[in-house]
């Protein structure tokens, strides 16, 4: 015997259809109806990460990998500076050898060009800035679970 659509719909549970009969996390049952000796029964629909509270905990514990445009632009900029420093490195080596400088002096000056052009402390400076911003937010009782978003949020106008 084939099931009709009416029978199929009644067997499947839908939160939207049965929302009057659903208790959510944190709800305290104050009263139930008593049906002559029958106990009240309940069915647990969702536990753990399937609940709204669980989804919040999961998003905190396992955040989605975020790839911000700011971070991409930062790496592009550092890469561009690296290309410029590479050109300066080669130019310095050629010019200093043509002028008859010692090998040690050539290496020191060429590497000096790289450290001047590409700041090695840039990631550390960015981290210090983010930590400082996070501490300032914490003083105002604003807690951030994703410090990497602080720079992006600074550009938002509310």
pLDDT given for residue 150 in this prediction = 79
For the cut 80, the answer to whether the pLDDT of residue 97 exceeds it is yes
Task: Please tell me whether the overall predicted TM-score, pTM, comes out greater than 0.95 for this model.
Answer: no
58 in the same domain as 79: no
CB burial of 7-41 (b: ≥16 within 10 Å; e: otherwise) equals eeeeeeeeeeeeeeeeeeeeeeeeeeeeeeeeeee
pLDDT, position 117: 86
User: 87 and 49 share a domain?
Assistant: no
Distance between CA atoms of 36 and 54, rounded to whole angstroms?
37
Q: What angle do CA 90, 95, 101 make, to 5 degrees?
A: 110
Residues 45 and 89 in one domain: no
| pLDDT one-digit tens code per residue, 109-138 | 999 998 888 887 877 888 888 899 899 999
Residue 34, domain member (yes or no): no
Q: Which domain holds residue 125?
A: 69-153
Note the pLDDT tens digit of each residue in 32-84. Answer: 777 777 777 777 777 676 777 778 877 777 777 766 677 788 789 889 999 99
Number of domains in the chain: 2
Q: Could you tell me if residue 108 is inside a domain?
A: yes
Same-domain check for residues 130 and 79? yes
């Amino acid at each position: 015997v084939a099931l009709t659509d009416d029978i199929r719909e009644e067997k499947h549970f839908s939160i939207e259809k049965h929302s009057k009969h659903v208790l959510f996390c944190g709800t305290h049952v104050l009263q139930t109806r008593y049906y002559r000796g029958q106990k009240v029964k309940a069915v647990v629909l969702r536990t753990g990460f399937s609940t709204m509270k669980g989804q919040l905990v999961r998003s905190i514990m396992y955040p989605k990998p975020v790839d911000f445009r700011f971070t991409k632009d930062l790496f592009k900029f550092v890469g561009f500076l690296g290309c410029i420093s590479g050109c300066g490195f080669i130019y310095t080596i050629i010019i200093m050898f043509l002028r008859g400088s010692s090998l040690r002096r050539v290496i020191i000056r060429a590497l000096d060009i790289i450290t001047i052009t590409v700041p090695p402390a840039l990631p550390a400076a960015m981290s210090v800035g983010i930590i400082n911003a996070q501490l300032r937010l914490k003083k105002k009782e604003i807690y951030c679970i994703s410090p990497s978003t602080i720079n992006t949020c600074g550009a938002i106008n509310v």
